Amino acid sequence: MRPLRTAALFAACALLATSTPATAQPPLRQVLFVGNNWDGTADVLAASGDFAKIARVNVVPDKDERLREIYLNPVKLAFFLGIRNGPGEGHDQFVDDMYTTPDGTAVVASRPSFADVVSIDLATGRIRWRFPVSGFRSDHMTVSPDGTRVAVSASTSNTVHVLDITTGREVGKFSTGDKPHENVFTNGGTRLWNMSIGEVNTDLDAPWLDFTKGDRLITVVDATTFQQVKVIDMRQRLDAFGRSDLSDAVRPVAFTPDESTLYFQVSFFNGFLEYDVTTDRITRAKTLPKNPTTSEDRTTWVNDSRHHGMSMNPTGTKLCIAGTMDDYATVIDRTTLTEGPLITASKPYWATISGDGKSCVISESGADQVTAIDFATGQKLTSIPVGDHPQRVRLGHVPATWTGPTTN
């Protein structure tokens, strides 16, 4: 009987191997999502190679409904118009940040002017869930390493909400400094860092008025309990490093692959700093060239940014810097901090990496295009037209055969 049982076992295994379970996940394709802030769309591009455009997603399919709610509420309307005339530079901010769900069937996006986060079904273009943040504006997000949770800054309530990316259910939240901005998961997803930038929408930009900007802090929490682990005030570290002239408002950041070193940009500075996480001190600063045509009037710089956007290649040997108000981007050798060619770009607002890790991809918000720059040579590879005022660019996944929502 043993040979028969063995034969039956092999037959059963063969049947299982050739069967496709009903829940089997279809193959996915890596892509780049480009958030077109002012027109409320996201262009989806190939993640590397020619960066060809695949589709466009409407991130505000409920626009009429949301506007009706806002115009019927005087308080919401005041903040809505404040966003338009402040960080929106006269435009509504309809899409800031984006991440796809682990199965690639939806994109989750923060919508500053609507003060919410939504999940858009990529097959139908319809909203799966909506989460209104506390306060009146949503901002930068990050996704956990396992792709299951998304953290979003609620910039007017000094709060970060952490949501289940599939259901939109809040799994936790924590308090931050004034105007929370960038978020980053570290330590395998067990720590969550938030950088608050303070008030950036006033003309009180002279150095002696720095006290009006509020509390600008890095808040590190346990990503399970959301209890505070550490608060880093870069003012103290900058002063100790001898750069009391620099703002302590930490803007975009990039960790080294081993998370031992943090690179960060600050308000009003054409350059960046290096921070040793273990010793808790700033170790180097890099000043980058100024564009001679850039006004030195700080009130003309968008949201206190002179340079805004940085990324690091997967091996941690190169940094890519978006010189926003100086109209260029450049690749930096991390060992020497020497910059490569200055690649002309129109108000570059963000920098990320391509799917193959070989290129830095910047959003040119002033030219409505994204541009790829070779990490190895520092030279421009290509530019791809996108929608109105591209800002955040994020890697994501979609079903391999997906060509866009059926409703768009």
Verdict on whether the full-model pTM lies above 0.85? yes
Distance of alpha carbon 391 from alpha carbon 37, whole angstroms:
6
| Residue 18 pLDDT > 70 | no
**Per-residue pLDDT tens digits for 164-207:** 999 999 999 999 999 999 999 999 999 999 999 999 988 999 99
Residue 99's SS3 state is strand
**Per-residue pLDDT tens digits for 254-297:** 999 999 999 999 999 999 999 999 999 999 999 999 999 999 99
Strand partners, 36: 41, 390
Distance of alpha carbon 283 from alpha carbon 268, whole angstroms:
20
What ranges make up the beta strands (E) of 112-227? 116-121, 127-132, 138-143, 149-154, 159-164, 170-175, 180-186, 191-196, 218-222
Residue 283's SS3 state is strand
Confidence band, pLDDT 50/70/90 cuts, at residue 86: confident
DSSP 80: H
Distance of alpha carbon 256 from alpha carbon 184, whole angstroms:
12
Strand partners, 192: 185, 221
What are the structural domains of the chain? 26-399 (2.130.10.10)
